[in-house]
Amino acid sequence: MSTIDPAFPALHGRPDQGWINDPNGCVYVDSVHHVFFQYNPDAPVHGNVHWGHATSTDLVRWTQQPIALFPRQGAADAAGAWSGVVALDGDVPTAYYSGIAETEHDSQVMTATSDRNLIEWKQEQHGIIGMPEEPGIGDVRDPFLFTFDGRQYAIQGAGYKDGTPLILLYRCHTMTDWEYLGPLVTGGSGVAAEWAPAQIWECPQLFEVDGQWILMLSLWNRDDHALDRVTYLTGELSEGGVGLKFLPTGGGLVDHGPDFYAPQVVAGTAAEPRTLMWAWSWEKSRSDADVLASGWAGVLTYARSLAFRDGVLRSEPVTEVKTLRAGVLFGGLPDGTGSFSVPVAERAFEVVSGGGAELVLLDGGAETVVATLGAGRILVDGSLVEAFVDGGPATTVRAYPMETSHFEVRATGAVTVHRLAL
């Protein structure tokens, strides 16, 4: 079904069928990029949570690998192998993820180990740490590991029962011996409340880019389970008290679109110096009937590189995306009327605009403006649209072409439209 569905994002390396959500365990090992993700292989609905796995050597051409992690009856992850990360414990790749038992609602940090191929995994039966013994905490999830001043730490997203979000901090004495140090930052007031209003902070990412510490947060509310948006806090990370302290000084949106959530960041290393990011885009604007008929739901964005410039966190597609260009469909300037329209029948294409351009989806007499920008790029793959303003914000949005519809590019300046293909 997905292979002929005009909305299917064929270039983004997701399985042909099933549900996917959060990117997990993104890591670069021995010249191979590994991306894991929340995955229900049996149906395009959220449940039966496994870790899917895809690999690439160039960040744009992906190979699906066997399922990596499974929920296991009787284990502490019986109700799902939820989000987490992969880190190298010496020479041993180790996955850290949230597990929930069938008879309990308490989250535990589970571990699994593999060799450097990261294909076959040994999942442990019990977690290395459970819910902290701190009054009022109602939800804990999504471990993330980082290094500060040569020491290993971890954080988890959380929320108090009164609706205040917080980040929990752990000292990793070894990769499986964690000590809870208390809240790193809470969101009840001040800069954190201004830029990251939520009841639970999910999928926290704490990393340094271009000399600035960034705390990236996905905002979730218990009342309506709304996945509001993804924001970031800038701040100072330093030694303080029994562990570390993070003092928020500013913030912003990671992506300005409505269909971007749960990103995962991979900090730069000597082998891969870029700070990379993937995120999940979901089908919230597609009907349940269409999702079930298609057999698939969810997609990960193209890999993006992050930079901190002029006081703002910026993201742009990795340069390797340009290798998908497979011919120019149109290139030109507006005529004497000052504007022009270009119909595009391709499933995947790129718009490079030097001035003003907008992407429109037409179906019969109906039309929807999907994206608008001045100078920048719009990447379209089926229903996934990722727009990037030159030197400015990124916007992720979904638009669902059908057999009866097509995209059109309307421009008031120089524009080039490339076909994209593997």
- Checking if the pLDDT of 63 tops 80, the result is yes
Run of H or E including 294: helix 288-294
**Cβ atoms of residues 163 and 172 within 8 Å:** no
Q: Are strands 177-186 and 200-209 parallel, antiparallel or unpaired?
A: unpaired
**Cβ atoms of residues 78 and 69 within 8 Å:** no
For residue 173, the tally of other CB atoms under 10 A from its CB is 11
* DSSP character at residue 129: B
CA dist., res. 42 & res. 46, Å (int): 10
Q: Which positions ≥6 away from 322 have C-beta within 8 Å?
A: none
pTM here is 0.96
Q: What is the pLDDT of residues 348-357, one digit of tens each?
A: 999 999 988 9
The token duo for 53 is 């796995």
104 phi, psi to nearest 5 deg = -135, 155
**Cβ atoms of residues 314 and 391 within 8 Å:** yes
User: Longest C-alpha distance within the chain, in Å?
Assistant: 71
Q: Residue range 101-127: average pLDDT?
A: 92
- Chain centre distance of CA 410: 30
> Residue 22: its pLDDT value, please?
98
- Checking if the pLDDT of 257 tops 80, the result is yes
- Checking if the pLDDT of 69 tops 50, the result is yes
CA dist., res. 422 & res. 201, Å (int): 37
> Residue 336: its pLDDT value, please?
59
| pLDDT above 90 coverage of the chain, percent | 88
For residue 240, the tally of other CB atoms under 10 A from its CB is 12
Superfamily of domain 10-317: Glycosyl hydrolase domain; family 43 (2.115.10.20)
Q: What is the pLDDT of residues 362-415, one digit of tens each?
A: 998 899 999 999 999 999 999 999 999 999 999 999 999 999 999 999 998 899
**Cβ atoms of residues 203 and 219 within 8 Å:** no
> Residue 241: its pLDDT value, please?
77
> Residue 222: its pLDDT value, please?
79
Q: Which positions ≥6 away from 71 have C-beta within 8 Å?
A: 48, 49, 50, 77, 78, 79, 80, 81
Strand, helix or coil for residue 371: strand
Is residue 102 very low, low, confident or very high in pLDDT (cuts 50, 70, 90)?
confident
- Checking if the pLDDT of 199 tops 70, the result is yes
Q: What is the residue-averaged pLDDT of the chain?
A: 94
CA dist., res. 43 & res. 134, Å (int): 38
> Residue 1: its pLDDT value, please?
43
Strand, helix or coil for residue 11: helix
Q: Give residue limits of the domains in the chain.
A: 10-317, 323-420
CA dist., res. 417 & res. 342, Å (int): 9
- Checking if the pLDDT of 2 tops 50, the result is no
**Cβ atoms of residues 326 and 420 within 8 Å:** yes
- Checking if the pLDDT of 114 tops 70, the result is yes
Measuring CA to CA, how many Å separate 218 from each of 164, 199, 280, 351, 367? 14, 11, 11, 29, 32
Q: Residue range 115-138: average pLDDT?
A: 95
- Domain at 323-420, CATH class: mainly beta
The C-alpha angle with vertex 149 and arms to 145 and 155, in degrees rounded to 5, equals 25
Q: What is the pLDDT of residues 22-34, one digit of tens each?
A: 999 999 999 999 9
> Residue 165: its pLDDT value, please?
97
Is residue 14 very low, low, confident or very high in pLDDT (cuts 50, 70, 90)?
very high
Q: Which of 35, 40, 79 is nearest to 59 (CA)?
A: 35
Cite the beta strand spans of 221-285 per DSSP E. Answer: 227-240, 243-253, 261-266, 276-281
